[in-house]
Every structure is written in C-alpha cells, then in structure tokens.
Amino acid sequence: MLPLLGAAAAEPAPAQEPTVQQAPLSVLEGAYTAEQAGRGETTFGRSCAECHPPATLSGTGFQRNWSGTARSLFEFVDATMPEDNPGGLSRLAYAEVLAYIFQLNGYPPGERELPSDDARLGLVVIEPKP
C-alpha cells in the first residue's frame, strides 16, 4: 500500500475554485445588485425604519461618516442594530440592508451581490461620490 500513497502524493493538487472577488471593489463600481437592495429595503422597513427614516442614512452625512470598507459598516450595524436586538438579523439580511443603504446614497448597482462574509466585505471600499 505504501507505493500507492507515494504515487498519489506526486499528483498535482486540484486547482482551487477562484474566489468571486479577489481585488478591492469600490461602491462606485457596483458592489451590490438592485434585487439585493430591494430585499434590503423590505428588511429595513420591518426592522430599521421606525427609528431611522431612510433620509437620515443618505447624503453627505453618510458619506462623511463612512469611509473605509463595507466590513466596518457591517460590523457596526451588526453590533448595534436593531436597537432592541443587536445582531438579531442574519448576516445575509445585514448585507441586504447595507445594499439598500448604498442604493439610498446613489451608489450604482452591479452584477454581484454584496457579500456577507468578513473577508469579501473587507474588499468593498466605501468612497464618497464625486
């Protein structure tokens, strides 16, 4: 049996699947889909709108307060919202709400959904609109 193990070890490893997003992506380049933002709007209406009218989460105030990555915004929202149940939504629901917030701020939708995992959220850069 030992010769078979040695032969198997000599074979090349199978190629890993490429990740969907490996390089940083600006919210100016379409970091969410319109469908995802629509789902986020529904969740926002149920879980957020009572305390946060949509107008309070858009415009120059938002852009002044949130630069960096979507991960930092995700972590803040997850840790503090909803106010009566911080962390009470699924990661997917939080990502959808962020997509809706990006839409409120006039960032364009793209062809990929905003991810919900930390690694890929860390690659989505929030920048002020020109």
Read off the pLDDT of each residue in 19-46 and give the average, rounded to a whole number.
Answer: 91
Say if CB 129 and CB 105 are below 8 A apart: yes
**What pTM was computed for the model?**
0.82
Query: Are the C-beta atoms of 107 and 31 separated by less than 8 Å?
Result: yes
- Contact by Cβ (8 Å): 64, 130: no
- The model's confidence at residue 8, banded by pLDDT at 50, 70 and 90, is very low
Model pLDDT, residue 6: 39
pLDDT band at 129 (very low <50, low <70, confident <90, very high): confident
> In this predicted structure, what is the pLDDT of residue 21?
52
* Helices assigned H by DSSP within the chain: 2-10, 34-47, 60-65, 70-80, 91-104, 118-121
Q: How far apart are CA 71 and CA 60, in angstroms?
A: 20
Cα distance from N-terminal residue to C-terminal residue, the chain = 65
Residue pLDDT, tens place only, 76-99? 999 999 999 999 999 999 999 999
- The domain ranges of the chain are 34-126
Instruction: Inform me whether the pLDDT recorded for 1 exceeds 70.
Output: no
